[in-house]
């Protein structure tokens, strides 16, 4: 089954029928056994991995999670024919999330400053490159260092936005040159106007990825696609009639408008569909695993409909609205189809999971790694499960001198002592409105709090 065309006039209606029918068809699919996975590897070699990371896409955005404001047929296709995770958690902001994701380490171990991937850090790409994978990074880099850093951290090919975290003479921060006529960097130089003029960044990223896939046949590959979408400046996409006359040098600053956000989400989904179709047309469907997630929750300026309610974006909040983001995986032959997984998963878990997909051991000489693999979950079985989620968020770049750290399981959440040791029953109070006071705790709640306190102390000592 191929993802249907998002331009189809009956897309939303057909989507509902398709999603329901796909779930009925695949809901009883048997898990992929270890033997079946080994047979797959013998037949096809190591699976290709494509990790797509949206920017400011909260859990309430995709239709498959219950979102009602946006058109996301290709994400819905992935969910109906793959596995969706209902308890995946980012950090409250993008830079700490991205650092945890790419290194498999919590930020107290390697955070130096905003948007810096330290030279000494090793990444998922380093691990997979060492295992024989061809590697490619497209999209928003925001790790500084340009060509030297990108290659040092394991990516042999790249086309990126924001290769350096400085504002130079071209206005190279992440809010300029992001979408139309973008400032893109490749082979240690910025692409000339002759290539980017009036083009859209996501189209140029896709073109590069498509060529990379064509040139990688015969070897396994890893692509990390860090979407520019859908962070502001909220502006028209090429599918919007306003795009033709949009002047990004002026309009991105003066005329950005939240009315463009739904179109940006739709275009993000369109890019996902194009990648799925590229893999299918290249004959790689049965040997490729595609995952989609987001770096953090939706911008606070955006209000969306979710399961009949209005939901305001939660970016930078530390409660569930600020850290719950979508995670969906699609990979026929490997990923169980039409499945829901309620396991706790966080950003550090990609590295050991990708090691499992590549059939290699996670690195043993890179110092402590914090992730727990969810590779067994993808196959429909249960291995060692994460029992808690931890976060360390250094907010120095937000002019907040005190970091925040917290740990939680399915039922309770505890903040560090610098943040008053706040303790919540998040099962019944996910927005953390009613703090549990020590004098009111039951014996079991005291035990839960003590358990979470030990976790906090075992990491950053808070």
Residues 342 and 418 grouped into a single domain: no
Looking at residue 345, which CATH number applies to its domain?
3.40.720.10
Q: What is the pLDDT of residue 44?
A: 53
Q: How far apart are CA 277 and CA 311, in angstroms?
A: 32
CB 81 within 8 A of CB 289: no
* 46 is a domain residue: yes
Q: What is the pLDDT of residue 167?
A: 52
Last residue of one domain, picked from the residues 356, 388, 420: 388
Residues 291 and 235 grouped into a single domain: yes
* 180 DSSP assignment: B
Average pLDDT over residues 62-88: 98
**Structural domain range at position 434:** 408-459
Residues 225 and 285 grouped into a single domain: yes
What's the angle, vertex CA 296, arms to CA 290 and CA 298, rounded to 5? 105
Residues 363 and 436 grouped into a single domain: no
> Is it the case that residue 166 has pLDDT exceeding 50?
yes
CB 93 within 8 A of CB 297: no
pLDDT over 70 for what percent of the chain? 89
> Is it the case that residue 28 has pLDDT exceeding 70?
no
The pair of structure tokens assigned to 404 is 């925040």
Q: How far apart are CA 403 and CA 279, in angstroms?
A: 42
Q: Which position has the higher pLDDT, 31 or 107?
A: 107
Residues 197 and 311 grouped into a single domain: yes
Question: What number of CA atoms fall less than 13 Å from residue 206's CA on the CB side?
Answer: 19
SS3 209: helix
Q: How far apart are CA 35 and CA 437, in angstroms?
A: 51
Predicted confidence band at 451 (pLDDT cuts at 50, 70, 90)?
Answer: very high
**Between β-strands 189-190 and 184-186, what pairing exists: parallel, antiparallel or unpaired?**
antiparallel
Q: Which position has the higher pLDDT, 380 or 26?
A: 380
* 336 is a domain residue: yes
229-263 b/e (C-beta count within 10 Å ≥ 16 → b): bbbbbbbbbbebeebeebebeebbeeebeeebbbb
* 2 is a domain residue: no
Q: How far apart are CA 279 and CA 45, in angstroms?
A: 16
Q: How far apart are CA 378 and CA 422, in angstroms?
A: 34
Mean pLDDT for all residues in the chain = 90
* 398 is a domain residue: no
Residues 20 and 102 grouped into a single domain: yes
Query: In sequence order, what are the residues at sequence separation of 6 or more whose Cβ sits closer than 8 angstroms to the Cβ of residue 3?
Result: 73, 74, 77, 273, 276, 277
* 233 is a domain residue: yes
Q: What is the pLDDT of residue 159?
A: 98
For residue range 87-112, list pLDDT tens digits in order.
999 999 999 999 999 999 999 999 99
Q: What is the pLDDT of residue 172?
A: 57
> Is it the case that residue 180 has pLDDT exceeding 50?
yes
* 140 is a domain residue: yes
Average pLDDT over residues 304-322: 96
Please state the pTM of the whole predicted model: 0.90
- Cα–Cα separations (whole angstroms), residue 352 to 102, 178, 304: 11, 32, 34
Residues 441 and 366 grouped into a single domain: no
For residue range 400-429, list pLDDT tens digits in order.
999 999 999 999 999 999 899 999 999 999
Predicted confidence band at 169 (pLDDT cuts at 50, 70, 90)?
Answer: very low
Residues 156 and 260 grouped into a single domain: yes
Average pLDDT over residues 184-203: 97
* 110 is a domain residue: yes
Q: How far apart are CA 191 and CA 34, in angstroms?
A: 45
Predicted confidence band at 447 (pLDDT cuts at 50, 70, 90)?
Answer: very high
Q: What is the pLDDT of residue 140?
A: 97
Average pLDDT over residues 319-324: 96
> Is it the case that residue 41 has pLDDT exceeding 80?
no
Last residue of one domain, picked from the residues 388, 420, 436: 388
Average pLDDT over residues 81-89: 97
Residue located via tokens 């290659």: 151
The pair of structure tokens assigned to 153 is 């951290």
* Per-position DSSP letters for 68-129, written without gaps between them: -SS--HHHHHHHHTSEEESSEE--SSHHHHHHHHHHSS-GGGT--STT---TT---HHHHHH
Q: What is the pLDDT of residue 67?
A: 97
**Where in 178-301 does DSSP place strands (E)?**
184-186, 189-190, 221-226, 288-294
Residues 266 and 309 grouped into a single domain: yes
Average pLDDT over residues 318-331: 97
What total of structural domains would you count in the chain? 2
Q: What is the pLDDT of residue 32?
A: 43
CB 37 within 8 A of CB 379: yes
Residues 337 and 433 grouped into a single domain: no
Predicted confidence band at 277 (pLDDT cuts at 50, 70, 90)?
Answer: very high
Residues 271 and 320 grouped into a single domain: yes
> Is it the case that residue 462 has pLDDT exceeding 80?
no
Average pLDDT over residues 20-36: 37
438-458 b/e (C-beta count within 10 Å ≥ 16 → b): eeeeeeebeebbeebbebbee
> Is it the case that residue 26 has pLDDT exceeding 50?
no
For residue range 110-156, list pLDDT tens digits in order.
999 999 999 999 999 999 999 999 999 999 999 999 999 999 999 99
* 393 is a domain residue: no
Residues 443 and 380 grouped into a single domain: no
Q: What is the pLDDT of residue 10?
A: 36
């Amino acid at each position: 089954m191929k993802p249907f065309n998002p331009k189809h006039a009956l897309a939303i209606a057909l989507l509902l029928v398709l999603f329901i029918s796909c779930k009925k068809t695949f809901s009883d699919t048997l898990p992929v056994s270890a033997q079946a996975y080994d047979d797959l590897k013998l037949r096809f070699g190591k699976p290709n991995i494509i990790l797509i990371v949206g920017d400011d896409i909260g859990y309430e955005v995709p239709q498959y999670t219950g979102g009602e404001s946006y058109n996301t047929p290709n994400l819905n296709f992935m969910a109906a024919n793959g596995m969706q995770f209902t308890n995946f958690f980012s950090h409250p902001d993008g830079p700490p999330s991205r650092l945890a994701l790419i290194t498999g380490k919590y930020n107290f171990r390697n955070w130096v400053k905003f948007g810096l991937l330290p030279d000494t850090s090793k990444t998922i790409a380093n691990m997979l490159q060492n295992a024989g994978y061809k590697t490619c990074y497209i999209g928003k880099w925001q790790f500084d260092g340009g060509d030297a850093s990108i290659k040092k951290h394991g990516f042999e090919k790249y086309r990126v936005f924001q290769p350096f975290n400085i504002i130079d003479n071209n206005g190279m921060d992440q809010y300029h040159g992001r979408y139309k006529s973008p400032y893109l960097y490749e082979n240690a130089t910025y692409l000339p106007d002759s290539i980017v003029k009036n083009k859209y960044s996501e189209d140029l990223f896709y073109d590069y990825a498509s060529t990379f896939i064509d040139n990688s046949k015969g070897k396994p590959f890893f692509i990390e696609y860090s979407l520019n979408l859908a962070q502001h400046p909220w502006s028209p996409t090429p599918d919007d009639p306003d795009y033709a006359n949009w002047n990004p040098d002026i309009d991105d600053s003066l005329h950005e408008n939240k009315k463009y956000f739904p179109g940006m989400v739709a275009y993000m989904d369109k890019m996902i569909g194009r990648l799925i179709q590229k893999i299918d047309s290249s004959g790689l469907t049965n040997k490729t695993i595609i995952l989609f997630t987001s770096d953090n929750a939706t911008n606070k300026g955006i209000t969306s409909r979710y399961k009949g309610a209005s939901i305001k974006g939660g970016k930078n909040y530390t409660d569930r609205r600020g850290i719950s983001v979508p995670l969906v995986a699609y990979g026929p032959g490997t990923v169980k189809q039409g499945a829901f997984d309620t396991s706790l998963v966080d950003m550090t878990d990609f590295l050991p999971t990708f090691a499992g997909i590549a059939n290699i051991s996670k690195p043993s000489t890179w110092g402590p790694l914090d992730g727990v693999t969810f590779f067994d979950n993808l196959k429909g079985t249960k291995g060692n499960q994460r029992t808690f989620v931890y976060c360390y968020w250094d907010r120095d770049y937000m002019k907040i001198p005190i970091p925040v750290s917290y740990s939680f399981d399915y039922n309770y959440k505890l903040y560090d002592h610098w943040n008053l040791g706040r303790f919540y029953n998040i099962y019944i109070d996910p927005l953390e409105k009613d703090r549990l006071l020590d004098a009111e705790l039951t014996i079991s709640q005291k035990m839960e709090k003590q358990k979470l306190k030990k976790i906090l102390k075992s990491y950053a000592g808070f």
